[in-house]
Chains A and B, each alone.
Chain A
Amino acid sequence: MSAAATTSHTGLPRTTATAGSAGRVILKRAAGSVFVLWAAVTLTFFVLRLTPGDPITAILGGAGSSPSPETVAAVKAQYGLDQPVFVQYLDYLAGLATGNFGTSYIFKVPVLDILGPQILPTFQLAGLAMVFSWAIALAFTLLTVGRGRVLDGIGRGTEVLFAALPPFWVGIMLAVVFAVILGWFPVAGDDGFKSLVLPALALAIPLAGFIAQVTRSSFEEALAQPFVLSARARGLSELAVRLGHALRHAILPGLTLSAWAVGSLVSSAVVAEIIFARPGLGRSLVDAIINRDLPITLAVVVIIAAVYIIVTLLVDVLYRVIDPRISEKGATA
């Protein structure tokens, strides 16, 4: 349990690559993706729909509202809530198949109208957070691994510290120091790259801690491999050995971690979105769940699941680029 153990507490999936002809692989993948989407939606639908709590409360729950029984009946009919749950479920699936995510209980507008504008900011945030995480993690790895006890210790310690930091705490501190006190970055908002930096860092720093930890241990492992010695014996410089050989092996576990992290960034972005007053799916999700806005919750689940699936696929492709053995042998490193 070497690789698994080092990343264990985060509970990482391992990317699984399947062997076989490209066509069959793609077909299998597509079927698997549809299944995951369907199951995710179904699970969420029934879990949330069958828990106590009337969606009517959510729909008519604005402060000071005082709807009459006629109103309630009208709403029930409008949202199809007068039907048996299973019929509602089938209706929802049918709608989903045609790209109709339903109408928000809270906002009373089509879900896509609400979530549409939130998607891009979230992806930008998650994407930049990912880039930052890798930049930090790689800097740590290349600069501190095997560079003497002191540097190694500093790198190791910082990584563990980073991984232990709660993102919201990092966000608040960054906001106070760099936006309010120093004024280097905007306090909040969604207004160009500069406004993305702090929220992305808030998410990236803890994540970088995790990526750096797994990358460090696999980098150490790689540096200890005979082929690295072999390369040195050929007369290669330290830098060439690190960049040309060790790094390539070392980033694979971190990559697996990233596949999982992107999906979770979409939801955990909520803290950065709250602190930096950014629009985004994370906030929509948390609000939707708090307000029992089932259609929005379901739609966010679909989006997150789709992101997870797509990113997993991308990582798989990247994996194959970095480690071509997979496509040939159908086994992960």
Chain B
Amino acid sequence: QPADDTFVFATGKDISCLDPHVDGDMPQASIAANYLDSLVSQDKDGRIHPWLAESWKVSEDGLTYTFKVRDDVTFTDGTRFTAEAVKANLDHMVDPDTQSGTAGGYLKPYESTEVVDDATAVVTLNRPYAAFLEVLAQPFLGMESPTALKRPQAENCNSPVGTGPYKIVDYVPQSKVSLVRNEDYNSAPPFAQHQGPAYIKNLEWQIVPEDSTRYGLLRAGQVDALDLMPSVHFAEAEADKNVALVLQDRPGNPTNLMLNTTRAPFNDLRVRQAFLRSAYVEAGINSVYFGTVTQAGGPLASTTKFYSPDFEDAYRPDPAEAARLLDEAGWTGRDKEGYRTKDGKRLIVHFPYTPAVWPTAHQALVTQLQASAKQAGIDVRIETGDFASVSEQGNNFDYDLRADYWNTNTADVLRIVFSSEYTESAGFVPNGSGFRNKEFDKIVNDALATDDPAVREKLYYQAQRIVSDNALQLPLYNQASQLAVRTDRFADLTLEPSLSLPYIYDVSAVKQS
């Protein structure tokens, strides 16, 4: 039995480099939320609040942000937090050497930072970017010690330093990260429930990719909480009075299958629509996820600001309509196995897939979609491959379907996932549909140029409609934080609001009677 002063968290996905500026995968942000503070914070409703920045001013043209930062905060390596640190961090994120995916990607409009004095940093952008503060609230863009950042990247990856409630003391890759309480912590965000140091002294972050093992550890009391709660065990966990579930859908682009519009057969809108019509997503979700996830109904997760439910029913499963669309598109023939053909060629949809990076239920779901597509005469070929080759195919539009999601706390995700700007990239290509549409590009960029919520809402509505009309992706279900926690030992495991990541700061031990 772990001692009362140690909280053991089992995470289901392997972490690469700990520094979330580098790469940009969810597990990095997940742990970063516990040792990094951000410049600003976001509440449950998406509003932005001060954190390390006490206040800020945005220029009229939206190109200059002047931050006033706290002067009483110190990094756990002893470095003082100042405006200099803000500059160092933003510069670090956009530095090509950092090889940042997410953080760097979010900062494409970033130009430079000017340090006016210890407490004042002026950030200049090269175009209006209304989502700037929102992305700054994400742990991906957390503030790290400038002293630590100066170390070689290898070192910083192993032991990034923040001002957060915990600090990293040891990292065994593929095994665990050990953190200890930051006794001098004085910069809790507004969404926190208390101030000062965390309640629990030690935090152990174990990496346990095997679903049943992770859950077994929780049941056996070997860990106190876990993420990626396997859906198959939900009912059991709910029935267990010592276990509580912490569930929260994440904002962003929900889990989906991207349809590659740059080549046949999905360059034909009717075929795309037919495919969407063939998919019995709801039935699949209910069976393999046991109803533990929320079906997504459009390009935005329902928890995203500016989400509109109007597109939820755009593509209800409808075999007759699917058949009609395919006939219209010329896929009128049928071969021996019942698949549709055109000019003697079968309607084949290539779907490169890496099972290892998806939950078991996702694998079952895509198998079900494969089967329902077969009913419509579409031969979906799930081609399993290693991560590297599948992502390489993904970056070269060498696929017809691509499994995706994009967690972010802003509707600007539409720009990242569907605008032409993001169809070209040397590395990962976020716009998996290859959709290029001037009108759409203009709408999502205009939405960045204003901070009038009404205007933004209108623009993002239009953007959602274009995506939906063009049948660019098959939305499956909202990404979600699905945590389970032992309530017999600890209380108050919450989620930080920007990406709904586990937040250990407020956790306290339950007094045993």
Contact indicator B220/A187 (Cβ below 8 Å): yes
Choose, from B63-71, B161-169, B388-396, B441-449, the stretch at the interface.
B388-396
- Docked Cα-Cα span, A234 to B247, in Å, equals 77
Chain B hits for A73, CB < 8 A: 96
B480 at interface, CB cutoff 8 A: no
- Docked Cα-Cα span, A190 to B222, in Å, equals 11
Contact indicator A75/B99 (Cβ below 8 Å): yes
Contact indicator A279/B172 (Cβ below 8 Å): yes
Q: Residue-by-residue, is A185-207 near B (CB-CB < 8 Å gives 1, otherwise 0)?
A: 01111100000000000000000
> What is the total number of residues of chain A having a CB less than 8 Å from a CB of chain B?
55
A118 at interface, CB cutoff 8 A: yes
CB-nearest residue of chain A relative to B101?
A65
**Interface residue from A53, A59, A110, A118 paired with B154 (Cβ < 8 Å):** A110
B23 at interface, CB cutoff 8 A: yes
A67 at interface, CB cutoff 8 A: yes
A231 at interface, CB cutoff 8 A: no
Contact indicator B426/A71 (Cβ below 8 Å): yes
A237 at interface, CB cutoff 8 A: no
Shortest CB-to-CB span from B362 to chain A, Å, is: 14
Chain A hits for B153, CB < 8 A: 108
Contact indicator B16/A62 (Cβ below 8 Å): yes
Contact indicator A70/B96 (Cβ below 8 Å): yes
- Docked Cα-Cα span, A109 to B99, in Å, equals 13
Contact indicator A57/B22 (Cβ below 8 Å): no
User: Which of A117, A179, A188 has its CB near the most chain B CB atoms (within 10 A)?
Assistant: A188
Shortest CB-to-CB span from A119 to chain B, Å, is: 11
Contact indicator B99/A66 (Cβ below 8 Å): no
Chain A hits for B212, CB < 8 A: 175
B192 at interface, CB cutoff 8 A: no
Q: A113-B154, A118-B174, A276-B213 are in contact. Are A67 and B16 (CB under 8 A)?
A: no
Contact indicator A108/B17 (Cβ below 8 Å): yes
**Interface residue from A72, A114, A291 paired with B426 (Cβ < 8 Å):** A72
B100 at interface, CB cutoff 8 A: yes
**Interface residue from A69, A114, A290 paired with B173 (Cβ < 8 Å):** A114
Contact indicator A189/B206 (Cβ below 8 Å): yes
Chain B hits for A67, CB < 8 A: 96, 99-101, 104, 425-428
B356 at interface, CB cutoff 8 A: yes
CB-nearest residue of chain A relative to B429?
A66
**Interface residue from A72, A106, A114, A283 paired with B427 (Cβ < 8 Å):** A72
CB-nearest residue of chain A relative to B430?
A66
Contact indicator A66/B104 (Cβ below 8 Å): yes
Shortest CB-to-CB span from A111 to chain B, Å, is: 10
**Interface residue from B99, B216, B219, B422 paired with A71 (Cβ < 8 Å):** B99
CB-nearest residue of chain B relative to A69?
B426
CB-nearest residue of chain B relative to A109?
B154
Shortest CB-to-CB span from A63 to chain B, Å, is: 5
- Docked Cα-Cα span, A60 to B96, in Å, equals 11
Contact indicator B388/A292 (Cβ below 8 Å): yes
A91 at interface, CB cutoff 8 A: no
For chain A, residues 154 to 206, give those with C-beta under 8 angstroms from any C-beta of chain B. 175, 179-180, 183, 186-190
Chain B hits for A274, CB < 8 A: 209-210
- Docked Cα-Cα span, A274 to B99, in Å, equals 29
For chain A, residues 119 to 176, give those with C-beta under 8 angstroms from any C-beta of chain B. 175
Chain B hits for A188, CB < 8 A: 208, 210, 213-214, 216-217, 222
Q: A66-B430, A108-B16 are in contact. Are A187 and B174 (CB under 8 A)?
A: no
For chain B, residues 354 to 398, give those with C-beta under 8 angstroms from any C-beta of chain A. 354, 356, 386-389, 391-392, 395
Chain B hits for A117, CB < 8 A: 172-173, 175
**Interface residue from B100, B101, B425 paired with A63 (Cβ < 8 Å):** B101
CB-nearest residue of chain B relative to A70?
B96
Contact indicator A62/B23 (Cβ below 8 Å): yes
Size band of the interface chain B makes with A: 35 or more
- Docked Cα-Cα span, A275 to B354, in Å, equals 19
- Docked Cα-Cα span, A112 to B86, in Å, equals 32
**Interface residue from B22, B207, B219, B388 paired with A180 (Cβ < 8 Å):** B219
- Docked Cα-Cα span, A63 to B361, in Å, equals 20
- Docked Cα-Cα span, A69 to B155, in Å, equals 25
A221 at interface, CB cutoff 8 A: no
For chain B, residues 394 to 440, give those with C-beta under 8 angstroms from any C-beta of chain A. 395, 406, 422, 425-430
Q: Residue-by-residue, is A68-110 near B (CB-CB < 8 Å gives 1, otherwise 0)?
A: 1111111100100000000000000000000000010011111
**Interface residue from A57, A78, A187, A291 paired with B217 (Cβ < 8 Å):** A187
Contact indicator A78/B97 (Cβ below 8 Å): yes
Chain B hits for A287, CB < 8 A: 14, 174
Chain B hits for A107, CB < 8 A: 16-17, 157, 173
CB-nearest residue of chain B relative to A277?
B208
**Interface residue from A54, A64, A110, A118 paired with B101 (Cβ < 8 Å):** A64
- Docked Cα-Cα span, A136 to B452, in Å, equals 74
Shortest CB-to-CB span from A287 to chain B, Å, is: 7
**Interface residue from A60, A108, A283 paired with B428 (Cβ < 8 Å):** A60
Chain B hits for A190, CB < 8 A: 175
Contact indicator B422/A63 (Cβ below 8 Å): no
**Interface residue from A53, A114, A279 paired with B392 (Cβ < 8 Å):** A53
Other 16 A-B pairs with CB < 8 A, given A57-B391, A59-B99: A53-B392, A56-B427, A61-B391, A64-B406, A64-B428, A65-B428, A68-B426, A71-B104, A108-B157, A109-B155, A109-B173, A118-B174, A188-B222, A189-B206, A277-B217, A289-B386
26 A-B residue pairs with CB within 8 Å = A54-B392, A62-B16, A62-B23, A67-B96, A67-B104, A68-B96, A68-B425, A70-B96, A71-B99, A72-B427, A74-B97, A74-B99, A113-B154, A117-B172, A180-B220, A183-B220, A186-B220, A187-B216, A187-B217, A187-B219, A188-B217, A277-B207, A283-B174, A284-B174, A292-B386, A292-B388
A contact residues vs B (CB 8 Å cutoff): 53-54, 56-75, 78, 103, 106-110, 113-114, 117-118, 175, 179-180, 183, 186-190, 274-279, 283-284, 287, 289-292
